[in-house]
Amino acid sequence: MTSSPRPANLFFLPRVLGQRLCVYHGPASDKAPLAALVFVHACGEEMNKSRHMVALQARALSRAGCAVLTIDLLGCGDSSGDLQDASWSDWLADIEAACNWMTEHLPQTPIWLWGQRAGALLASAVAQRRTRPTHLLLWQPLVSGKPQVQQLLRMKAAAGLGAGMPAGEAITDIKQALAQGGAVEIGGYTWPAALMQALESAMLERPVAPGRVAWIEVSNRPDPSLAPTSSKLLETWRGLGAEVDSRAVRGPAFWQTTELEVAPELLSATVSAVLQAPGLTA
Amino acid sequence: MQQINVFAELLAVLDEVLSLGGRSAAFDRQTPLLGAVPELDSMAVVTLIGGLEERFGITVDDDDIDGATFASVGTLADFVAAKLNT
């Protein structure tokens, strides 16, 4: 059955330090939704560059009979506060609040945490501490926050290239400032030291049974495959009994391309992965 | 890896990162990059570095991130070739 998706409902969820912008996409049909997904966005510019893909995906999932809730975390997007006010635990609490909203709204529906890039780190941390089974849908997940922090520090250094500031020096300065507990401005966002440190030490948490994992990466190679770090981690997880559906699809790295790009194969692979997960009732 | 392959692979990375849609085929060693290509902002530079690391299996150190390295396609190609030969 293909009905046109219902319009998305935009609302503000009252939270600590203000409110968070949320967008809810209900399932297109009048039947009970197959899955309730809470989207956990990526960092900074990656979040902005991914918005259109996330919207397309939410609508595709809605057409397929799923419910989707997106939330802008504290200090991000259109939610209250500046990044400077945010902590890692604030973000985890925001995500849990979003899950609770979904559960109150759709008590019988399996909950999925859909995390993209650094959002996957947060999603897996929340899934681990929830008492109800929580499935994970991971888009291009970061296995650790370290590369994200390295990227951010490099961005700061790259911004100074025009002014002739040597990058090595710039990065050393920033690391010193962070070690002293100061905040760092990078690309218009002010990162508090504690948040940067939490991101750097974050690791993707092992899934908790009976939660399932759908892991999808996008690659522009003709023969796409998962990143070596991903394959290695998944081997460990599967060895411990985790049920993981992992896929690599062809498409552009839309979260970081200069122009807005679309990855249609990711859209269909994601719907397929969510619908194929055993245990979902039709 | 021979010089000519580095160049072709480099153009492929530039094409992806800057969403050039094949226009990198018109680039030569003299084509200016940093400061000349408006799409090459801080984030694009970092994405480019990551792309080079992944494509060529090299590690770009903090001290390598230099305005001169990214000045032109030629300077960048030389940088990558030098990394591959160390």
**Of the candidates B34, B46, B67, which has its C-beta nearest A151's C-beta?**
B46
Asked if residue A26 has pLDDT above 70, the reply is: yes
Cβ-based contacts under 8 A for chains A and B: 67
Position A176, amino acid:
Q
- Name the band, by pLDDT with cuts 50, 70 and 90, for residue B55: confident
Instruction: Say whether residue B53 is in contact with chain A using an 8 A CB cutoff.
Output: no
**Of the candidates A159, A172, A253, which has its C-beta nearest B42's C-beta?**
A159
Tens of pLDDT, residues A231-243: 999 999 999 999 9
Tens of pLDDT, residues A145-187: 999 999 999 998 888 887 777 888 888 888 999 999 999 999 8
Instruction: Say whether residue B75 is in contact with chain A using an 8 A CB cutoff.
Output: no
ipTM, 2 decimals?
0.85
Across the interface, whether the CB atoms of A172 and B62 are under 8 A apart is answered: yes
Across the interface, whether the CB atoms of B64 and A167 are under 8 A apart is answered: yes
Q: Is residue A109 within 8 Å of residue A67, measured between CB atoms?
A: yes
Mean pLDDT, chain A, rounded, equals 92
By CB atoms closer than 10 A (0-12, 13-18, 19+), residue B80 is: buried
Min mean pLDDT across A51-60, A130-139, A152-161, B25-34 is at A152-161
Tens of pLDDT, residues A45-90: 999 999 999 999 999 999 999 999 999 999 999 888 899 999 999 9
Q: Is residue A94 within 8 Å of residue A71, measured between CB atoms?
A: yes
Average pLDDT over residues B53-78: 91
Q: Cα torsion for B71, B76, B82, B86, to the nearest 10°? A: 110
- % of chain A exceeding 90 in pLDDT: 78
Instruction: Say whether residue B62 is in contact with chain A using an 8 A CB cutoff.
Output: yes
Average pLDDT over residues B12-20: 90
